[in-house]
Amino acid sequence: MSLLFVTTNAGKVREARDYLDAAVEQFDYDYAEIQSDDLAAIAARGAHEAHEAAGGGDPVIVDDSGLFVGGLGGFPGPYSSYVEDTLGIERVWELVRSLDDRAAAFRSVVAYADGETVETFTGEVSGRIVAPRGAGGFGFDPIFEHEGETFAEMGTEAKNAVSHRGRALASLAEWLAERE
């Protein structure tokens, strides 16, 4: 059995291979994201749709992530990708810098679908929003500081060890192992 990771991002597939014993293949398919405040609902619906689009064979996983800023009521959350494209991370920092509370979290939901079951696994990492630092990573990494370093200052391995996506994949791996 292999797992099809539904994503247009090959980097996510490499990351998943580090966590999962099963063979992980990329299924380059852009599922329709439903509009919801709930990452789990978005990921579960996407996994169900993608499993059908893949022909209903091997199980699929999808991942949906977002940055949740406490002092902004959780914004941008499920709209993170849109906000990154429209405002950009510098302007997110400008919005947050005037707040007393700059605490934030990255959250990721990995949804698994095999035609019978849809299961979701959540991972979270907390930190705070800071002025951009660091050249690595992607997305909001330069403005997200965790234990003194921004994600863009950490190496990929150090980031993966604590990241929201890593934690969600680790609980999927545990669940898959229990089912065997």
Catalytic residue among 18, 58, 64, 100: 64
How far, in whole angstroms, is CA 164 from its chain's centroid? Answer: 6
140 lies in the site for ligand IMP, by CB under 6 A: yes
Q: How far is the CB of 178 from ligand IMP (least distance, A)?
A: 26
Decide whether 49 or 63 has the Cβ nearer to ligand IMP.
63
- Kindly identify the residues of this chain, within the stretch 71-100, that bind ligand IMP according to CB under 6 A: 80-81, 84
Give the residue among 40, 11, 37 at the shortest CA–CA distance from 26.
11
CA-CA-CA-CA torsion sign (92, 101, 146, 110): negative
Tell me which of 15, 61, 65, 92 binds ligand IMP, using CB under 6 A: 65
Contact 3, 20 (CB under 8 A): yes
**Is residue 64 flagged as an active site residue?**
yes
Query: For ligand IMP, which residue has the nearest CB?
Result: 139
The tokens describing 83, both together, are: 């906000």
Which letter, b or e, does each residue of 60-79 get, where b requires 16 or more Cβ atoms within 10 Å of its Cβ? bbbbbbbbbbbbbebbbbbe
Tell me which of 138, 155, 175, 177 binds ligand IMP, using CB under 6 A: 138
The tokens describing 28, both together, are: 């380059």
Decide whether 33 or 119 has the Cβ nearer to ligand IMP.
33
The tokens describing 147, both together, are: 């234990």
Catalytic residue list? 64
Interface ranges with ligand IMP (CB under 6 A): 63-67, 80-81, 84, 106, 137-141, 151, 163
